[in-house]
Amino acid sequence: MLDLRVPSGWFFTILGAILLVMAVAAPGNRAELTDANVNLYCGAVMLGFGGFLLTLAWSAARKRP
Amino acid sequence: MKLALVDYVILTIYFAFILGIGWRLRKKITTSGDFLTSAHSVPVWITSLAFLAANLGAQELVGMSASGAKYGIMTAHFYWIGAVPAMLFVGLFMMPFYYGSRARSVPEYLKLRFDEKTRALNAFTFAVMTVFSSGISMYALGLLLSLVLGWSFTTSVLCSAFIVLAYTFLGGLTSAIYNEVLQFFLIVVGFSPLAILAVSKAGGWSGMAERIPAVMTHSWKYMGSATENPMGIEIFGLVAGLGFVLSFGYWCTDFLVVQRAMAANSMSAARRTPVIAAIPKMIMPFIVIVPGIAALALSKMAVGYSLPMKNGGYDYDQALTTLMAKFYPAGMLGVGITGLMASFMSGMAGNVTAFNTVWTYDIYQSYIRPGAPDRHYLTVGRVTTIAGVALSIATAYVAQHYNNIMDLLQLVFGFVNAPLFATFLLGMFWKRATGHGAFIGLLSGTIAAALTHGLTVAEGKGGWIADINHFPSVMAQNFWIAIFAWTTCFLMTILVSLVTRPRPEKELEGLVYGLTKLGHDEGVSWYKRPAPVAVCVAVFLIILNFWFA
C-alpha cells in the first residue's frame, strides 16, 4: 500500500519552497492588513512539515524488511 | 479578489497530486471490496483524519466562519457539544457492532440486525440525501468561486467535479480517504495562519472582547434563556436537540462518516478512528470560527477591513474569503483558495463514495441483480461513481434555480437522521427490539418531525398545518423537531417491539450488546486503546467548555 506520508511530504515541501522563493524574490509582496512577510513564515512551516513527513516515511521504509 | 500566476501554480500542483494518488492506487483495485470498502486495510491515523475531513466541506468552513461572525464563540457548541461526545460514543460503544458484524454498510447492519424493509428504507433515503447533499455543496462552491474570484459557475462546478470523479473512479474509497487526509492537512495549513493574523490584528481575544457584544465571547453564560442569546436557544434545547439527538444521529449513524472507520485495518483501529478524530475536531473552532469573530471585531476598528453588506446587514458568508483577501499575499492566497477547494472535494468525495457503496451493495446487489460475479459489482461501483457525480452536478444546477432546496435538505436530514439514532440505540443495546418495531418507529419518527414542522413557526418557516407555537429561531425549531422525532421513534419502536416476536438470540450474536464478545486490547499501551484516549479527550473537552463558558 502507498505510504501517504511520501506524496503529502513532497506536496508540502514543494509548496513551502514556492512560498519561500516568493518571500525572498519579492519581499515587498505584502497583504493589505499585515506587515508580516506571510509567505516567509508560512513557507518555512510548510517546508518543515513536508520534511517531517518525508523523514517519517523514510524511517519507516528503512525499518521494513 | 484576484489571483496571481503563483496562486494558479499552487492550485495546479494540488490537482496533480490528488490525481497522482488516485493513479497510484488504481492497481490495488481488483475486487468490489477493494473499490467500495477499501478491504478493511487502511491505517488508523489515515482513517481518523479522513473521518474528520469527510465532514469538513466548503459549506462547513464558510458557514462556520459566518456563524462565528454572527453568533460568536457559541458556534463552537456545534463542535464541543454537537460532535465530540457523539464521536467518542460511536468509537467506544457502536463501532464493535458495525465492524464486528462485518457489514459492508450501515444499511446492511440494519438488515442483519432487523430485516430487509428497514435496510431498504435507510438505503433509499440515504442514497437520495447523499446525492442532494453533494450537489448542494457543489452549488455552494460554484457560487463562492464565481462571487469571490469571478470564475464561471459552470467552469467551477465541472472542473472540480471532474477531478473528484477521476480520483474516486481510479482508486475508489481508498483514494478518496487518502486524498481526504491530504486535504485535511491543506485546510489546516491554509487557514490556521489566517486565524493567527486576524486575531492578532484585532488585539487578541481580549481586544476582540472589548469591541463585540459580551454574548459573543461566552459559550454558556447566556444560554439560560432563549431571549438572552442571538441563537435563540435555551440550554435544554441545545443539549437535548443538538448535543444528543442531532449530533448522535449524524456521527453515529450516517454512513458517510462511519464508512471511514469501517475501512480501518482492525477492530481496535476502527474503534480508535472517531476517538482520535475527536482531537482535531475540538481544535477546529479556533481555525474556522475564531476568524469569523475576528472579522466582526475588525469591522468595528477602522483598520481598513469591514464585512461586506447585504440587504442592510452584514453578509457573514463572506467573512472568510474577505479576510483571506486582506491578510494573504499572492502565494499564500493560492494556498488558502486551494484549501477551500480541498474542503469541497473532501466533502464531495465522501458523499460519492458513500453513495456508490450503498447503491451497489444495498440496492443493486440486493434488489436489482443479486448473485452476479464480484467483477460485475466492481463495474457497477465504477459506473455508480460516474452516475453519482453526474446526479450531483444536476442537483447543483437545480439548487441554482431553487434556493429553498438547501433549507429543505437540512430539514429532511433532521427528519431522517434524528429517528435513525433511536433505531440504532435500541437495535444495538436492546435485544428485544424487532424489525417491525424499527420500521414503524422510523416511519413514525419521521412523521412526528414533519408534524412538528407543520405546527410550529420560526422566522416565517414551518406552520404549514397550523400555527400553535413560535420558536425564536429556525435553529431552535430544528433542535425541537429532532427531539420530537427521536422521542417518537424511541417510544414507538419499544411499543411495537413488545407486541411483535423478537429474533432468536443466537441470530443476534455479534449485533447486540450483551450477546457479543467484546475484545479487550490486553497488553497494548494506553494510548493505543480507545477508552483511555477517550477519557483524555473528554477531560480536555470539559476544560475547553469551562474556559470559554
Query: What single-letter DSSP state applies at residue B56?
Result: -
pLDDT for res B416:
84
Percent over 90 (pLDDT), chain B? 71
Q: Check if the beta carbon of residue B383 is closer than 8 Å to that of residue B355.
A: no
Name the band, by pLDDT with cuts 50, 70 and 90, for residue B417. confident
A55 Cα to chain B: minimum distance (Å): 17
Residues of A with CB under 8 A from a CB of B: 1-2, 4, 7-8, 10-12, 14-15, 18-19, 22-23, 29-34, 36, 38-39, 41-43, 45-46, 49
Q: Does the pLDDT at position B181 exceed 80?
A: yes
Name the band, by pLDDT with cuts 50, 70 and 90, for residue B407. low
* Mean pLDDT, residues B148-152 taken together: 82
Long-range pairs for B230-233: beta carbons < 8 A, 24 or more residues apart: B230/B70, B230/B71, B230/B72, B230/B74, B231/B71, B231/B74, B231/B473, B231/B475, B231/B476, B232/B471, B232/B472, B232/B473, B232/B475, B232/B476, B233/B472, B233/B473, B233/B475, B233/B476, B233/B479
Lowest-pLDDT range of B11-15, B163-167, B401-405, B525-529: B401-405
Query: Which amino acid, one-letter code, is at B267?
Result: M
State pLDDT tens for residues B192-205.
999 999 999 999 99
Query: Which amino acid, one-letter code, is at B326?
Result: K
Chain B partners of A16 at a C-beta cutoff of 8 Å?
none
Q: Does the pLDDT at position B7 exceed 70?
A: yes
- Report the alpha-carbon distance of residue B431 to residue B428 in Å, rounded: 7
* Mean pLDDT, residues B375-382 taken together: 96
Please answer yes or no on whether B189 and A31 come within 8 Å at the CB atom: no
**Three-class SS state of B473:** coil
pLDDT for res B115:
94
pLDDT for res B1:
77
State pLDDT tens for residues B98-123.
998 889 999 999 999 999 999 999 99
Percent over 70 (pLDDT), chain B? 98
Strands (E) in B101-190, as ranges, are none
Which of B20, B24, B326 is facing A33, going by the closest CB pair?
B326
State pLDDT tens for residues A41-64.
999 999 999 999 999 999 999 887
Which of A11, A23, A36 is facing B17, going by the closest CB pair?
A11
B41 Cα to chain A: minimum distance (Å): 9
Chain B partners of A49 at a C-beta cutoff of 8 Å?
185, 189
* Mean pLDDT, residues B431-438 taken together: 96
* Mean pLDDT, residues B273-291 taken together: 96
Q: Does the pLDDT at position B60 exceed 90?
A: no
B118 phi/psi in degrees, rounded to 5: -70, -40
pLDDT for res B403:
58
Interface test with B, best of A13, A29, A30, A34 (most B CBs within 10 A): A34
Query: What single-letter DSSP state applies at residue B456?
Result: E
pLDDT for res B406:
60
Chain A partners of B193 at a C-beta cutoff of 8 Å?
38, 41-42
B434 Cα to chain A: minimum distance (Å): 42
State pTM to two decimals. Answer: 0.92
* ipTM for the complex shown: 0.96
**Three-class SS state of B31:** coil
Written as nine digits, the cell of B129 is 440525501
Chain A partners of B327 at a C-beta cutoff of 8 Å?
31-34, 38
Query: Which amino acid, one-letter code, is at B194?
Result: L
Burial class of residue B468, CB neighbours in 10 A (0-12, 13-18, 19+): exposed
Mean pLDDT in chain B? 91
pLDDT for res B405:
62
Higher pLDDT: B56 or B481? It is B481
Please answer yes or no on whether B20 and A7 come within 8 Å at the CB atom: yes
